[in-house]
Amino acid sequence: MGTKYQEFHRRSIEDRDGFWREQAALVDWHKPFGQVLDYAKPPFAKWFVGGEINLCHNAVDRHLKDRAGQPALIYISTETGEEKTYTYTELHAEVQRMAAVLQSLGVGRGDRVLIYMPMIAEALFAMLATVRIGAIHSVVFGGFAASSLATRIDDAQPKVMVTADAGMRAGRAVPYKHLVDESLRLAATPPQKVLIVNRGLDKDMPRVAGRDVDYAELRAQHLDAQVPCTFVESSHPSYILYTSGTTGKPKGVQRDTGGYAVALAASMRHVYQANPGETYFATSDIGWVVGHSYIVYGPLINGMATVVYEGTPIRPDAGIWWKIVQDHKVSVVFSAPTAIRVLKKQDPAFLKKYDLSSLRHLFLAGEPLDEPTAKWIAEALGKPIYDHYWQTETGWALLTGLPGIEPHPTKFGSPSFPAYGYDVRLLHEGTGQEVGADEKGVVAVVPPLPPGCMTTVWGQDERFVQTYFTSFPGQQVYTTFDWGIRDQDGYYFILGRTDDVINVAGHRLGTREIEEAISAHAAIAEVAVVGVADQLKGQMPMAFAVVKDPAKIATPEQRAALEKEVMGTVDGLLGPIARPKNVHFINQLPKTRSGKVLRRSIQAIAEGRDPGDLTTLDDPVGIQMVKDAVSGK
């Protein structure tokens, strides 16, 4: 941890107003703000009070002066073969057309627009157009099923829904509009209008007269539209994003406008060291928070070109991302460990095939980055790899290195240090006291949360306070629900969710720790560990592992031998307490389409319970494999 980092971080906490006032100069204000922070009603933080701003102006219009002809949006679909680059001027025109269409459908300031779209340029036009006219978008990931979509519709109560006939994944059309229709039958408060981008992928797309409208037709009526930005007060909501994977009713994470713009602009410099005029490639999806922050707003606010990619990392072959890096001179790639593990199973020659000289570094987030994966990609790419840690709630990194401030040596498996603005503490779960170096605690943040973080749960202020700020009696601190540890050098390590904790004979173990241990065995490509009920010990870990070379476990004897070996590895690294009850070998883990392993569903199956909501599942094969493994098939 260098002195520049330390000073930068210290100032962000001790001179909060001065620090954020400086960062706020990175964006355009229509009317300057007065107070930097209004924290009269903790834990609700209002940043840049009284300032008037527009996200779309900052992402698009303000660049027209210097970057009119520069690429802004590079759309690539390896599914349909389409490729189209929009300059800032073209993006400006498209966003105004979309804005005019939305206005013609009655959308105005404060109205919600629900966007349920595949990764196509029009999805970004819709997001940018919504915030342009002061409305609030709620993007729902395309993998959600009709009932999940209906729940979100009823919570957000959108005036208009924007969708497409279909998306495409791995060569297959995935119908969207069919699903929208079903969700609207289930919803209690369906929107009046559904705007459809018809890609011609679903010839049987149903239409409901009077409700469904065609984007191409309406766009043609607004080709010359000039829709000025609606400037809103800084704390005006820009969007709602529902958190995934939680039980019960999804939480609508609400984001403001001014704080978010400033946080993203600052992060592009200090965290990603990304410069205007360069190209940024985040491999996520607009349905997730990474997509919002680093496919759409971050790169554009920073005057960069952003890559919008529809496709998988391995089609037409495992070199596709790196070809994009070469062809579009990408300087920063942002991806997730799971995607890297997918690549790890392919021929590494694909990483050497293209000219990656434009690439400065690779950032990874979203889940624990295990050491073997980190090492593999670092060696294969020959570029710095940064793990960083954040959540839908925070909107940008909470733990990260700051290459833009000061380069620092990374440690494998560590997302490094607290980002500026976050007063991070590791608290003892029971006492709420700070733990010492190398001691495990809950990752918590002393509020106020910095700009860019969620401001409340949509329509449920009390739930915001209850969910996030009441874990430690007697003190109001934000809990991340993650276990963490800080080493003697100040590096943090995330040990897994507090809510996925395993309690084995009174000893608490993070699933992450056991997964790391199992991954250390050379034969293992990927593993998920869950706690299963055990009569004797309360809970026992159970592992579901994917091997690198299935040929090596072709016979029952080979499987048994490898299981024993893996258990031995765990014994050696963590002790017999952490030894899994079983290590099941399967070909594929069940994951959401954003790459998160569905541990709770695996756990439910392992305990003979119903796996619950599987609507975010990427591919049903993984879940079936878990079922077969558990039932001994």
Q: Are 167 and 135 in contact (CB under 8 A)?
A: no
Looking up tokens 């080979």, which residue turns up? 558
**How many residues appear in the chain?**
633
Give the span between the Cα atoms of 535 and 342, in whole angstroms. 37
* Residue (540 or 597) nearer to ligand AMP, CB: 597
Q: Which is nearer to ligand AMP, 57 or 388 (CB)?
A: 388
Q: Coil, helix or strand for 76?
A: strand
- Which residues, including other chains, have CB under 8 Å from residue 272's CB and lie 6 or more apart? 280, 298, 332, 334, 363, 403, 404
CB of 343 to ligand AMP, least distance (A): 18
Q: How many CB atoms lie within 10 A of CB 42?
A: 11
In angstroms, what is the minimal distance from the CB of 280 to ligand AMP?
19
394/359 Cα distance (integer angstroms): 27
H, E, C per residue of 24-47 = HCCCCCCECCCCCEEEEECCEEEE
CB of 191 or CB of 368, closer to ligand AMP: 368
Nearest residue to ligand AMP, by Cβ distance, number only: 392
CB 468 → ligand AMP: shortest distance, Å? 12
| Residue 34 burial (CB count, 10 A) | 10
* Shortest separation between residue 558's beta carbon and ligand AMP, angstroms: 32
DSSP 3-state assignment of 156? helix
CA atoms within 13 A on the CB side of 52: 8
Q: Which is nearer to ligand AMP, 305 or 529 (CB)?
A: 529
DSSP 382-437: -S-EEE-B--TTTSS-SEE--TTT------TT--BEEPTT-EEEEE-TTT-PBP-T
Nearer to ligand AMP, 24 or 365 (CB): 365
- Residues near ligand AMP (CB under 6 A) are 244, 289, 365-369, 387-392, 415, 480, 482, 494, 497
Nearer to ligand AMP, 322 or 386 (CB): 386
We find the least distance from the C-beta atom of residue 239 to ligand AMP, in angstroms, to be 15
Can you tell me the distance from the alpha carbon of 428 to that of 484, in angstroms, rounded to the nearest whole number?
A: 10
Q: Are strands 252-255 and 239-242 parallel, antiparallel or unpaired?
A: antiparallel
- How far is residue 363's CA from residue 334's CA, in Å, rounded to a whole number? 5
Which residue, 256 or 500, is less far from ligand AMP as judged by CB?
500
- Say what angle helices 337-344 and 371-381 make with each other, to 10 degrees: 70
For residue 392, give every residue at least 6 positions away whose Cβ sits within 8 Å of its Cβ, in sequence order, or none: 241, 243, 244, 253, 288, 289, 454
Q: How far is the CB of 511 from ligand AMP (least distance, A)?
A: 11
Minimum Å gap between C-beta 257 and ligand AMP is: 21
Least Cβ distance, residue 290 to ligand AMP (angstroms): 7
Residue closer to ligand AMP (CB basis): 365 or 514: 365
Looking at the Cβ atoms of 165 and 367, the one nearer to ligand AMP is 367
Query: Nearest approach, Cβ of 369 to ligand AMP (angstroms)?
Result: 6
Shortest Cβ 470–ligand AMP spacing (Å): 18
Q: Which is nearer to ligand AMP, 33 or 481 (CB)?
A: 481
Dihedral of CA atoms 308, 311, 312, 315 in degrees, nearest 10, equals -120
Smaller CB separation from ligand AMP, 61 or 393: 393
Nearer to ligand AMP by Cβ, of 480 and 539: the residue is 480
* SS3 category, 268: helix
Q: Which is nearer to ligand AMP, 78 or 416 (CB)?
A: 416
Q: What is the DSSP letter of 285?
A: -
CB of 235 to ligand AMP, least distance (A): 22
Q: Which long-range contacts (CB under 8 A, 24 or more apart) does 294-299 make?
A: 294/334, 295/124, 296/59, 296/124, 296/127, 296/128, 297/55, 297/59, 297/260, 297/261, 297/264, 298/264, 298/265, 298/267, 298/268, 298/272, 298/396, 299/268, 299/274
Residue 513: CB minimum distance to ligand AMP, A: 12
Crossing angle of the two packed helices 556-574 and 511-519, in degrees rounded to 10: 120
Could you tell me the smallest distance in angstroms from the CB atom of residue 94 to ligand AMP?
Answer: 29
Answer yes or no: are the C-beta atoms of 280 and 152 closer than 8 Å.
no
